[in-house]
Chains A and B, each alone.
Chain A
Amino acid sequence: MKIFNYFGNYFSNRETFQEIIVIPVFATLLAIFLGLLLLIVSGSSNEIALKALIALFYGSFGSISSISETLTAATPLIFAALGIAVGFKAGLFNIGAEGQIILGGMAAVIIGFSFQLPFFIHLILILLVGALFGALYAFISGWLKATTGAHEVITTIMLNLIAYRLLDFFLRIPSIQKEGRNDPISKSILDTAELPRILYFLDPNLRVHMGFLIAIFAVLIVYWLIFYTTIGYEFRAVGKNLEASRYSGISPSMTIILAMSIAGLLAGLAGASQIAGVLGRATPGFSAGIGFDAIAVALLGRAHPIGVLFAGILFGALIAGGRQMQVSADVSLDLITVIQALIIIFIAAPVLIRKLFPWIFR
């Protein structure tokens, strides 16, 4: 218990600990177990199920290269899920991370190929502008909610759809489309804008990049923001009790706009880091549903920054392990989606977990 006291008021009691660590862990184990059961019920042999299980673990944590893949997949999830968590704290349900990632990514692409700048400066610029565009895009939803009361779930979904079409249009603009290509694909960003691979010295093929370190830094910043600043205090007050926050002199509309913008900023960063760290250019599906997976990550992490970090790594592991599972056990990647969905169900119904494993919750 000592270590939890270290985190101040917020992590000091048993309940929070159970909420953000114990329940997610058991939800995940149970989901994997049921996923494999499903595999067996649907006709696979026990060996295949066992092979799949081994591949899942091996492909996610079994070697340096699989760990690298896990962390690479986790990076944008952590950024975007942190944003969604910030929204949750202020009582906002931001479904729009996907669109904000796309905007952030598009901005990053433009910055990435159109400026000749020294290495470090270019890198900072690409991330900053990516974050800014994500923030601006989310600002629209926040502003609409604050001024007209339009529900953010609706507006963010709409903005997601608009973002997809914007991306299609964007990729066909002659000055952006890659020279000599007819399919929608952007020019590649310059080397100076790329996020360096952090395990380059071990093996140049290890893809995990500096974005992961920045994501951990972002976790700490968001933790500080939520629990140690007046801004976070306002977010939480508005999220927990709107009436009382008005009484206390907080302006709910300003708070909502700010929370939404910060959520978008982090999602934009996810997009930029994906462009600058992994993809190098934009294609029609480059956001790859990260914005939606991130909602699951935020839920799994109980909207707590530390929880989000672990949940992001876990989802990264499922993605990386799932690929290995597909290759070596010939099991469809869809099983991973099923497992992810099961995790969410168990998280949404913690009572189920408490009932199934009563001895842990004494």
Chain B
Amino acid sequence: MKLHEISKSFGPVKANSNINLTVDRGEILGLLGENGAGKTTLMNILTGLYKPDSGKILIDNQLREFHNPREANKNGVGMVHQHFMLVPVFSVTENIILGEEPTKRFNKIDLENAKNKVLKISSEYKLDVDPDQIIEKLPVGIQQRVEIIKILFRDAEILIFDEPTAVLTPQEVVEFFEIIKNLKKTGKAIIFITHKLHEVLEICDRINVLRRGKIVGEEYPKKTDKKKLAELMVGRTVNLRTSRKKMEQGEVLLEVNGLSILSDNKEYVLSNVDLKLHKNEILGIAGVQGNGQTELVEALTGLRSVSSGKISYFGKEYKNFSPRKIHQLGVRHIPEDRQKQGLIGEFSLTENSILNTYYEEEFSYNITLNWTNAKIEAKKIIEKFDVRTNSENISANKLSGGNQQKLLIGREMSRSINLLIASQPTRGVDVGSIEYIHNQIVFARNKGIGVILNSTELEEIIALSDRIIVLFEGKVIAEFPSDTDPNIIGLAMAGEN
């Protein structure tokens, strides 16, 4: 497959300019680039979601033009989006055949036949799934397999993965790599987008780097390293390790005693959790996703009611507090899912910039909003956190994924702050911005703020934390100092002491 001189602009933004790119059968092409470089846009052009302003798509040396993803699908181009597009209440098979339902007589859906085809594909490419399971009951890694089967079901020859590993646990990433190696063996062409440099080095045959809508370099994993790639991506040297000098623990800012939460189906998702957070301290919460981290953070920020236990901020116990109350104490929360909680997609950047401060004096007088100040605030965040956009008036869902994250972090970190609760703060963010965000977090901690860092990236936890606790099945099963061997922490995350 070959892309020739593709260009695409959104108003004044040149998302892609004169891009040339090729992928061969049996090849894995890595696509790197900073946030907003135009990776997703390029892939959306390839799959027919957007029409390029100019340029050609050649497949097997034939000129192709797709008007919609379905047409692209039919012609062997399939994409797994970062945000899955599955119907939660449908079964695996139903999701896979959606839109392409095989039928029997009288238009009845031929589920048996479909199921057999699904099973065939899943054994052929070693994609283990149970075709009868309901999607919402499956972990993310398996849902992703369903997405892959979905495009293989439509006979895809070119497979595109947009940040597939961002939401996977380390174990799932290993399995995912096995899968794409298998796909490669059967002669598929694969395009793999990620922000994690070690991943491209590990799995790709060739790497293309995009910057500001242009291809700025082609590299081969054997002849390059992380540092070079990072430089190529952002156009300057990137410090991949955050420096952090040791600091004395200060007074206790947050104390949690015996915290338990009963889920809707009467199971303990959190049981008897104790923790303390001090001034000048970053407390890392390690754990495989789904072991109670989300619930813990929600409880601390007033989004979830607790069954028993005590939560004290700054030496005072709070019961049945609301998110606003907590916010007013100077506790800032970066939620793990930017699109579900942190931002309102259809709101403009300006509107999003004041999401939890709109009622404060600076932004409103009685009930009248002060849009002038809100705009200033938005511009400040955009400038300081390098959110790539040409205007603060566009809606947040028009930003690239990583830029949405930067907007969110900028909003939470640019105002007066006493304590930070950050969940997956660098999910989907490029190396340059990770460096900046990490530095900001460390800087905040040096100024005397306490930080709770909840991340599924063990590397991130180890790089930043002064102290690490491990959550397993809703319990704190271990606590480590910052210089612990990652393997030991990894074992604890798997539930072994």
Contact = CB atoms under 8 A, between A and B. Distances in A.
B420 to A, nearest CB: 15
A247 B335 contact: yes
Interface residues of B, number: 29
Interface string B335-357: 10000111111111011000110
Given A233-B369, A244-B342, A248-B358, 18 more contacts: A229-B368, A230-B358, A230-B359, A230-B364, A231-B367, A233-B358, A237-B344, A237-B347, A237-B355, A241-B344, A241-B345, A243-B341, A247-B303, A247-B323, A247-B342, A247-B356, A248-B356, A249-B322
A357 interface: no
* Those 8 A-B pairs whose CB atoms lie nearest each other, nearest first: A249-B324, A248-B356, A229-B367, A241-B344, A248-B355, A247-B341, A249-B323, A244-B344
A147 interface: no
Given A12-B393, A230-B364, A249 B356 contact: yes
A270 to B, nearest CB: 24
Nearest to A15: B395
A223 to B, nearest CB: 13
Nearest to A14: B11
A236 B335 contact: no
A175 interface: no
Interface string A215-244: 000000000000011110100110011011
A148 interface: no
A8 B370 CA distance: 12
B327 interface: yes
A165 interface: no
Contacts of B348: 9
Contacts of A9: 348, 350-351, 371, 393
Contacts of B343: 244
Interface in B309-347: 322-324, 327, 333, 335, 340-347
A8 B359 contact: no
Main secondary structure on A side of the interface with B: helix
11 contacts: A8-B371, A9-B371, A12-B393, A229-B369, A233-B369, A241-B340, A244-B343, A246-B303, A247-B342, A250-B324, A251-B322
Nearest to B337: A243
Given A12-B393, A230-B367, A240 B344 contact: yes
Interface in A1-49: 8-9, 12-13
B368 A228 contact: yes
Nearest to B348: A9
Contacts of A249: 322-324, 327, 356
Contacts of B350: 9
A221 to B, nearest CB: 12
A321 to B, nearest CB: 36
Interface in A246-285: 246-251
A108 B481 CA distance: 73
Nearest to A249: B324
Contacts of B369: 228-230, 233
Nearest to A250: B324
A9 B322 CA distance: 31
A241 B345 CA distance: 8
Contacts of A248: 323, 355-356, 358
Interface string B227-251: 0000000000000000000000000
Contact of B371 (A12, A228, A240, A246): A228
A229 B345 CA distance: 20
Interface centre among B301, B303, B323 (most CB of A within 10 A): B323
Interface centre among A236, A248, A251 (most CB of B within 10 A): A248
Contacts of A231: 367
Interface string A324-358: 00000000000000000000000000000000000
Nearest to B375: A9
Contacts of B342: 244, 247
A319 to B, nearest CB: 34
Contacts of B344: 237, 240-241, 244-245
B370 to A, nearest CB: 9
A9 B368 CA distance: 16
Contacts of A246: 303, 323
A251 B321 CA distance: 12
A251 to B, nearest CB: 7
A249 B303 CA distance: 9
B145 to A, nearest CB: 27
A276 B359 CA distance: 38
Contacts of B303: 246-247
A248 B344 CA distance: 10
B412 to A, nearest CB: 11
A248 B342 CA distance: 8
Contacts of A245: 344
A245 B335 CA distance: 13
Contacts of B371: 8-9, 228
Interface centre among A9, A246, A250 (most CB of B within 10 A): A9
A213 B333 CA distance: 47
